[in-house]
Every structure is written in C-alpha cells, then in structure tokens.
Structure 1
Amino acid sequence: MSGQGTAMLAVAQAVPWETALMTTAVCGALLVLGERVDSQLARWAFKPVASLGFIAAALAAHTSVFGAYHDLWDVFEADDPASAIVIGLLLSWWGDVLLIPSSEIVFKSGILAFLLGHLAYSVAFLRMGVDARGCGFAVLPVIPFAYIVLCWLMPDVPSDMVAPVIAYILVICSMVVLSVGAYAAGADELFPIGAIAFLFSDLFVARERFVAPGFVNRAIGLPLYYGSQLILAAAIYRLV
C-alpha cells in the first residue's frame, strides 16, 4: 500500500502548477453546476478530482521550493511548514470525500478529517513562528465572532453534534489567530488570507447542514473553499 501511495505521490509531484490549478478550477465549476441540480453523481465525479488539484498544486510548489518528496512518509516525517500544509490539504481531501455520502457517521468522520486538517495548518503556522502581539490582535475580533457563530448555530445543532461543533469552531478560530500571528512574525499575507477564506467557507457548510439548506450555500461556499486551499498551496512558494 505504501508503494502505491509513493507511486501516486510521484505522479502528483510531476503535475505542473498550472495544470493543478486548472483541474481544481474546472472540476470545481462542474461540481457547482452539479450541485445546482443536486446530482450525487457529479459530487462523486468532480469533488475528489477538484480536491486532488489543490494537493498537486501544493506538491508542485513544494518541489519548486524545497525539492520533491522521495517517499510518502517523507511528507509526514518532515518538520517544515510546507509539509504541514501538504498534510492539511491531504486531510481536507479526505474530508471532502467523506462529506459526499448522506450517512451521519461518515459525515462525522469528514468533520474530524477537516478538524485535523485545521490542526495541521496550525502546526504549519507555529513552525513559521508566531508573534504574540499579532495573535492578541487577532483574538480581539475572533472571540466575539466565534460567540456569534455559536449563538447562530446552536439552536439548530442536534445534541450529539454540539460538542463536535464547538470543538471545530475553537480549532478553526485558533488556526486563523495563528495565521495572523505568523503574518505578524514575517510570514506572507497569503497565509491569513487563505485561513480566513477557509473559515468563511466552513460557515456555509454549517449553514447547509444545520440552519438553511440550499444551493446558495454551495454556490458561495465551494468557490471560497477551493480558493482558500489554492491560496494556501500557492503560499508555499513564499516560504523562502
């Protein structure tokens, strides 16, 4: 299995950045069109491929700046910020796939994958170095924002999902705070931009699941989501 994973990694690293970007853009657009007619077939056909595009984009950036990974385990054993971003994108891919079925258990697994992805991004920002005053500045608006979101969601969240939703909000808000702290410490502005865009895309997922289901959530949320992931992938080029 690891040999197959390494072979897939080698293929993905050979994909040019422009091809990876177009893959996500085109399949993401087709996915939105499929969502317009509520097509489960379109979700299975386009969502995993669109998400593979942003992984290939991150690998292209990593290869250009730091060199190619030689083995699948290199991604997980490395202690650089770029590798943590790649891991976050891989976990996001799993989250995307797990959110396609209608099963409640699978949905919770997808949420867990995304939560772990946000933790991976948080690790990336910590590895870049964070400025305490920058984090403090970010906390000021993030705390009331998180409180407002919780007040908005909680009346419609099932009892068995209350703890996971609270944990998820805390993790993603912490990730945003750390991205601002990394920026204040000298990291590129693409990192907080990508983190904040990811946060807002998740709000539309929550709205779709708990508050007001409808195509508008996917029409806005999906471009925000894929845009945020491509921004974080592109930011790897700035890690020099």
Structure 2
Amino acid sequence: MTFNPMEVAPACLLWTLSVSGLVASDWHHFRAGRFIFKPLAALSFIWLALLLGATQSSYGQWLLAGLLLCALGDLLLMFEAESTFLGGLIAFLCGHLLYTAAFIQLPVSASGLALAAVPGLILMVLTLRWLKPYLHWPMTAAVPVYILVIVAMLVFAGGTWGQPGVLLILSGAWGFAFSDLAVARRQFVSPARINGLWGTPLYFGAQMLLAASVAWQSTAGL
C-alpha cells in the first residue's frame, strides 16, 4: 500500500486542531467550543477514510458507514440529556456492528478470534461489575447489550489477524473500546474533567486508526 502523505495531511491537521480544541473546551467548561470542535473532529476521521479510498472496497464501505454512525453518536452526545445519550448509545452500538461487518469482509483467522475472545470477555465482566451499582432503567438493559456488541467487535477485529493493516484495526478497535470507559465513567460514575482529558483523544485517535486501515484494503480490493 502506498499513498502520498500530503494527501491526508489536511484531515490529520483538522484532527489535531479540533481534538485539541475539544479537550480544552471540555476542560474549561466552554460549552460553545464543544459544539464547534466535536463536529469538526468527527469530520476529520470521515474525511481521512474518503481520502484513503473507503468507497473502493467492501471493507471500506462498511467501515465508512460505521464511521458515519459514530459521527452521529458524537453529535448526540454533545447534549447533556439522558434521551440524547441513549440515542448516541444506539448510534455507537450500530457503529460497532458495522465495524464488525467490515471486519468479516476479510478472511477470518480462527486463532485470532480465539485469542481476542479471552481479553474481550474479561473486559466485559470487569466493566459490568464496575458499572452495575450506578445503572438504572433503561440503562440496566442498554449498557450490557452495548458492552456485548463491543466485545463482539473486538473479537472479530482479532479475526483479521494476518491481514494487511491488522495493527491499525486492532489498535483502533481496542482504543475505541477503552475510550468508551471514559464516557461511561463521566455519564454514570463521576463527571470529572479528567474523563475527557484522556478519553477524547483516545476515541478520536482510534477512529482515525480505523479510518486509516481502509487504505490497505482498498489497495487489496477487499
């Protein structure tokens, strides 16, 4: 896979500036900054995927659809109401499902699936035990389903082992999953500003890694 780094530089620059602005806005409780920088940060990973040929492969098309749904989830989470949070949760859940659909467009490694299942199940059990005391209806039903979908996405990301760009896929998938812990902590446990300080760049960085993975599959024609 080859591409001109200058072609993707604008999207990467937008990512750097918008994520920095978003983190600073959240840290200083500058609500208007969140409405400015979060859509731009979401635009950056969609832009990167398009620049790298997301529409040229079945893998890229499924992944791009997932990126678009995650961008919708980002927009919904800008508002601080439980109804929009639930809407954002559904958008991200569908995004995870579409990422899973993208991963199974590639040849599946049975050993990769098995190896990814162990840490995925551990993450699910620990997260549910951590959040259980803080959840109330309808989140007592929604959050376990969401976590199960995340684990499925992680397992099928592991199934891409041996494929071009697999390290980007694994890093992006696990980064996305861990960034969700910051969202869960902010929503259910503590709204401390430290959540966004690490969760925001981890989430948007993970999306950029997943977006970048389409370049390998576009070249391979998968």
Instruction: With the length of structure 1 as denominator, give the TM-score of the two structures.
Output: 0.85
Q: State the distance in 1 between where 2:82 and 2:43 align.
A: 24
Note if 1:179 corresponds to 2:157: yes
Q: Per-residue deviation at 1:29?
A: 0.3
**Structure 2 partner of 1:127:** 105
- Say if 1:185 and 1:62 are closer, same or farther in 2 by CA, change over 3 A: closer
Q: How far apart in 1 are the matches of 2:167 and 2:138?
A: 37
| Alpha carbons 1:84, 1:123 under 8 Å: kept | yes
Contact 1:28 1:222 (8 Å CA) reproduced: yes
Structure 2 portions without partners, runs of 5+: 1-5
- Displacement of 1:184 in angstroms is 4.3
Correspondence for 1:35 among 26, 40, 45:
26
Q: Which has the higher contact order (CA 8 A, sep 6+)?
A: 2
Deviations 1:44-90 (A, max 9, x none): 01100111011000000016x93xxxxxxxxxxxx701111111110
Equivalent position to 1:189, from 160, 164, 167? 167
Alignment of 1:160-171 (within 5 A): 160-171=138-149
Q: Percent identity?
A: 36
Residues 1:111 and 2:111 are matched in the alignment: no
Spell out the pairing of 1:4-43 with structure 2 (5 A cutoff): 16-43=7-34
Equivalent position SS for 2:166: coil
CA distance in 2, matches of 1:184, 1:133: 10
Partner residue of 1:202 out of 160, 167, 180: 180
1:45 to 36, 57, 61: 36
CA distance in 2, matches of 1:132, 1:52: 35
DSSP-derived class of the 2:105 partner: helix
* Regions of 4+ moved over 4 Å: 184-187
CA contact (8 A) 2:164 2:216 kept: no
The one-letter code of the counterpart of 1:238 is: W
| Contact 2:69 2:94 survives alignment (8 Å) | yes
Match of 1:57?
48
**Gap change, CA 1:26 and 1:164, over 3 Å in 2:** same
For residues 152 and 93 of structure 1, the distance between their equivalents in structure 2, rounded to whole angstroms, comes to: 27
Alpha-carbon contact 1:183-1:191 (below 8 Å) kept: no
Contact 2:165 2:213 in 1 (8 A): no
Q: Distance in 1 between matches of 2:163 and 2:27?
A: 42
